[in-house]
Each structure stands twice: as C-alpha cells, then as structure tokens.
Amino acid sequence: MSIESTADWEGLRQVANVARVTLDTLAAQVRPGVTTGQLDATAARLFAAHGSRSAPALVYGFPGTVLISVNDEIVHGIPGARRIRAGDIVKVDVTAEKNGYVADAARTVVLDGATDVSRRLAACAEAAFVASLAAARAGNPVNMIGRAVEGVVTRAGSSVVPSLEGHGGGRTIHEPPNVPNYFTRRQKDVLTEGLVITIEPLIAAGDGAVYQDSDGWTIRTNDGSPTAHHEHTLVITSGVPVLLTAGHC
C-alpha cells in the first residue's frame, strides 16, 4: 500500500507498535529450556491484549501466532514442543494485523554457547539491513536495496537465500513490490513516496539453497548451515525511511 491519509499513518503506527512490543518481549524470553510453543502463547496473549491478530494465521492459515525458526530453519517455523537449547540461533518473526493494517518484523537471537559463525551471521543480517536503508529512497529502483544487501552478505562470506525476499505491505502480508535481497534486472519497480515495504535480509552461512520441510511450512537449508533473519516494516520517503516497527515514527 501507499500511505494516503493520517488515518493510514495512525493505523500503521498502532499495528507496528504491537509487532515491536511482541518481538521485544519474545526476544527477551528466548532462553534454554523455553519451548517455542511457550513463546507463541506469549505472543497470542500480547496480540489479544492489543486487539490484534496473527496475520499469517489470518491470511494463510498458519498453525501458530508467530513464526519461530531454529538453527538451519530460516523462516516459517511452527511453534510447538521444541525446547530452545544453549548455542541455538533463533529467528523470531512477528506479523500483526489490527484494524485492517499489517506490520511485520523479525529478529535473530543468538544464545550463549553459539558458534562464532552463528554470531557473525546474525550481525551480518542486521548490518545488511542497515546498509540497505541508504538505497530505500523515493525515486530509486527497488533493486538497489538488493544490491546493498547482497554486497554486505557476500563480503562477509555468507549467502542470501534467493527464494526468500522482502515485499510490499501495510494492508496484508505480501503486496507488490517484491524486494529481493540480491541485485536483479528483472525487478524494474521504482520506490515511491509513502510506499510501505519490508526489507528483510534472509541469509545462510552455507550456499543459500533451501527446501520446505515435511510439515508444509518450515524452510530449512539443504546443507544444514545456520541462518539469520532481520526485518522491519518501513515507509519510503524522499529521505531517510520511516522505520515503523523500530518505533521510529
């Protein structure tokens, strides 16, 4: 969507606040012994308290409130009985809906005992996101975002997952345009003032090849390498983008 009114701004601010508070709370609760199902129950309580709903459940029938992916799982992990362990690298992906607006954010939590590879990978995903913001300006081609992300990731010796990418948003989970994490001339769209998008580097320590698990949801690396994910919902302007889910609005 493209923001057209003060009502749009207010609606997006409200749902972005739900996503941010939920993500902050869950990230603080990721520790050894906690199950992914317990984290999901916390998210469900927070959503209910804020008059919000799980957008993945609402739109796609996802069997949980939030997506929690561990180690070689990069995204769409189903919460359940799995217990977090020391050394895990955990991706928490929150997409909230409230009053017809949607906001999406994700973070990678690296637990004590994790390998240096996992720690560097999480830092790389965040650094790639930050680097992309310089390209996220009205008038720039969308593919400049992918060029920025890919540059940071490849220089760090990691790989983007080409089949997973950012996207437009605001009214539902996935809207045009697609926002790849690599440079491609096939993406010919141009960023416009007020456009709502997500930027979300999804990266792997290995070659970036992935497959869908037998549960029909979870995406994992073919080579079993660890993964990282960093995401915010933002609004394009002629200058610095507005980071809705970071509270910068």
- Read off the pLDDT of residues 2-39 as tens digits, 9 standing for 90 and up: 999 999 999 999 999 999 999 999 999 999 999 999 99
Q: What does the alpha-carbon distance between residue 38 and residue 66 come to, in Å, rounded to a whole number?
A: 11
Interhelix angle for 116-132 vs 143-155, to 10°?
150
Q: What does the alpha-carbon distance between residue 66 and residue 39 come to, in Å, rounded to a whole number?
A: 9
Q: How far is the CA of 46 from the CAs of 42, 74, 183, 185, in angstroms?
A: 6, 24, 37, 41
Look-up of token digits 């004590």: 112
Q: What does the alpha-carbon distance between residue 75 and residue 208 come to, in Å, rounded to a whole number?
A: 13
Backbone angles phi, psi at 22, to 5 degrees: -65, -45
* Residue 191 banded pLDDT, cuts 50, 70, 90: very high
The reported pLDDT for the residue numbered 111 is 98
For the stretch 94-138, pLDDT in tens is 999 999 999 999 999 999 999 999 999 999 999 999 999 999 999
The reported pLDDT for the residue numbered 244 is 98
249 pLDDT higher than 50 = no
For the stretch 167-181, pLDDT in tens is 999 999 999 999 999
Q: What angle do CA 79, 233, 17 make, to 5 degrees?
A: 75
The reported pLDDT for the residue numbered 67 is 98
* Torsion of the alpha carbons at 198, 217, 213 and 25, rounded to the nearest 10: 60
Look-up of token digits 């060029």: 147
Backbone angles phi, psi at 162, to 5 degrees: -65, -25
The reported pLDDT for the residue numbered 247 is 74
For the stretch 52-89, pLDDT in tens is 999 999 999 999 999 999 999 999 999 999 999 999 99
Return left, alpha or beta for 87; rule: phi > 0 is left, psi -120 to 50 is alpha, else beta. left
Q: What does the alpha-carbon distance between residue 38 and residue 83 come to, in Å, rounded to a whole number?
A: 9
Look-up of token digits 């929690």: 68
The strand ranges marked E within the chain are: 53-54, 67-70, 73-75, 89-98, 101-110, 159-160, 166-168, 175-179, 196-199, 202-204, 210-212, 219-221, 227-229, 232-235, 242-243
| Average pLDDT taken over every residue of the chain | 97
Look-up of token digits 């560097």: 120
